[in-house]
Homo-oligomer: A and B are copies of this chain.
């Protein structure tokens, strides 16, 4: 799928409304800090999913779009705050909000992006009950995001993390906004509850597949496409599923050597290559790739519950794209 060709028009519409949603902020510094990431672009996967689900159910993609924008605002708010927590100076080649505007401004801009998301829901052209359901969905999602982020921080100091705990963490930290995107599209479109729940589940397994594929890409992708150095998870000692699976299997000198390299922040490129080689020989990269593929296959089956048509077809392609994308 040529992502830009298929979704170009939607992305343009989303970008317009996204930027537009921030223009009424009075304070110049606050507004500029808020708009810094949204105007840097992005694939806008979450709003696209919301629109496609709503279009598929009742051709109501445009009416559902503000909820998609709200999710994109929340996604951007978490990026701003996560970057402060991680003390990262750059994100995909641009300065992070706090390094450009200051830590206080970044905290505040994140808070305001978050509030703006709820304001957008309040302004939607839907009856009060649906808006209230969307508000609850978004609020619950952000609570889970915070739980996931805290779990991820806890992992840094924990001796060992199980595959199960890892899946629980990424379900909260990554998948939750995909579940919200799909379920929110269904709620906006007036879908019955069982279909809303199926859409939530679709987003959940798709989001899990997305994250695990992301971990694979960190080890196998091209550095230029990735926008960050290959193997950064190894240098950061991050406990991804691949590394957790490998540590369950690795023995003797392979294990000793791998543990020497894991978390070695100044590891050379050839040391990172060596670590990737050990993961490869343990078969854990292939296993993770297989798990991601299975999750994506499962997500596609759930799409059978949507009415047949172009929008569903686009959703199937988008779901496939999650494990075909190279960035």
Chain B residue contacts of A104, Cβ below 8 A: 84-85, 153
Are the CB atoms of A146 and B29 closer together than 8 Å?
no
A128 within 8 A of B: yes
Known A-B contacts A122-B135, A131-B128, A136-B122; A27 and B116 likewise in contact (beta carbons under 8 Å): no
Q: Is the CB of A139 within 8 A of B115?
A: yes
Count this chain's copies in the assembly: 2
Please tell me if the beta carbons of B116 and A143 are within 8 angstroms of each other in the complex. yes
In A127-147, which residues have CB < 8 Å from any B CB? Answer: 127-133, 135-136, 138-140, 142-143, 145-147
Determine how close the nearest CB of chain B comes to the CB of A155; give it in whole angstroms: 12
Most chain-B Cβ atoms within 10 A of its Cβ — which of A118, A128, A140, A142?
A: A118
- Inside 8 A of A105's CB, which chain B residues have their CB? 150, 153
Is B25's CB under 8 angstroms from A147's CB? yes
Chain B residues within an 8 Å CB radius of A25 = 143, 147
Measured CA separation A146–B110 after assembly (Å): 10
Residues of chain B contacted by A278 (CB below 8 angstroms): none
1/0 per position for A105-124, CB-CB distance to B under 8 A? 10111111011111101110
Chain A interface size, as a band, is 35 or more
Does A191 belong to the interface (CB within 8 Å)?
no
* Nearest neighbor of A77 in chain B, beta-carbon distance: B111
Interface residues of A in 59-76 (CB under 8 A from B): none
Bound together, the chains give a CA A30 to CA B29 distance in angstroms of: 30
Is A235 an interface position by the 8 A CB rule?
no
User: CA separation between A81 and B27, bound complex, in Å?
Assistant: 19
Residues in B whose Cβ lies below 8 Å from that of A145: 111
Residue of B nearest to A27 (CB): B150
Contacts of A149 in B (CB 8 A): 108
A135 with B131, Cβ < 8 A, contacts A27-B154, A85-B103, A85-B104 known: yes
| Contact assessment for A112 and B146 in the assembled complex, using a CB-CB cutoff below 8 Å | yes
Complex Cα spacing A105 to B107, Å: 13
The smallest beta-carbon distance between A86 and chain B, in angstroms, is 8
Provide the A77-107 mask, 1 if CB < 8 A to any CB of B, else 0: 1000100110000000000000000011101
